[in-house]
Amino acid sequence: MYPPSPIRRGNEGEVYTKMLKDKTIGWIGAGVMGHAMLQHLIKEGYRVLVYNRTRSKTDDLVALWASYIDSIAELSAGSDVIFTIIGDPQNVRETYLWSKGIIENAKPGSILVDMTTTQPSLAAEIFEAAEAKDILSLDAPVSGWDVWAIAGTLSIMVWWEQATYDAILPLFELMWKSIVYCGEAGYGQHTKMANQIGIAGNTIALCEALVYAEKMNLDLEKTITVVSGWAAGSWGWNNLAPRIINNDLDTCFFIKHFVKDMRIALDECNKRNITLPWLALVHQLYTSLMAAGDGNLWTQALIKAIRKLNNI
């Protein structure tokens, strides 16, 4: 369900955009995804303050007229809207909740948008801490590749209050093509977990099918053509399978990041007595790849683990 969008209600969207152009945007996290997403705001003419643990990763952003800020506290105090897309739940907790973090130093009335994939319970905790300081907070994890971030066509799973959403929709529109309301605080993260669980299952099924085809000496290109057009077809068959048979394991999503996401999902399952055997298996296989030094390969590299089990 999509809420009413001010961009599609007369000239109200233009009013919000003009209001935002007078605001300062803070951005924390200039990794692969964050770096690409932030460029859309800078190029649209917004005033942007940026912080990243490795300053050199922001050099080209500064060249595009972003201003580098040396501390999270200073950035928070000087921003009206603050986006974060950072590492893992511990990084998120420290960035938002420690004494030199965002909530302690942000101005009342600020809007916080965490796009990191993190624990749903942590997202709810951040919301409550922000609300106590008269600060608005959204959990808004994103889905997509870096090329989608560059194109501004990512998907977002977001919890919001309507007024907060309306106020910053012009910023969302620059970075995302699909914005879906998922429920109360933390539900954006729960929806992202469902997405990651689905990816885990799809990827192992794809890799097992290709290993079977290899063992049977099938023409792999023809197999992909056939299967992708039938009931087992999926986004993975169209996008990952061709990369796998060409040994292209460096384009998609880092294994080390996916393992973090699956660990969060498994922790949520443990809290609620949910048993997902396939997720546990895929997590184990990816963890073995990380132990072998393959954490910086991408998710389709799961084929290496399945091939190893079959002596290929």
304 is catalytic: no
To which residue do tokens 């992909």 refer? 224
How far is residue 281 CA from its own chain's centroid?
A: 23
C-alpha to C-alpha distance for 273 and 165, rounded to whole angstroms: 34
Closest CA to 113 of 25, 204, 49, 198: 25
Q: Which of 23, 57, 133, 192 is catalytic?
A: 192
Q: Which residues are catalytic?
A: 192
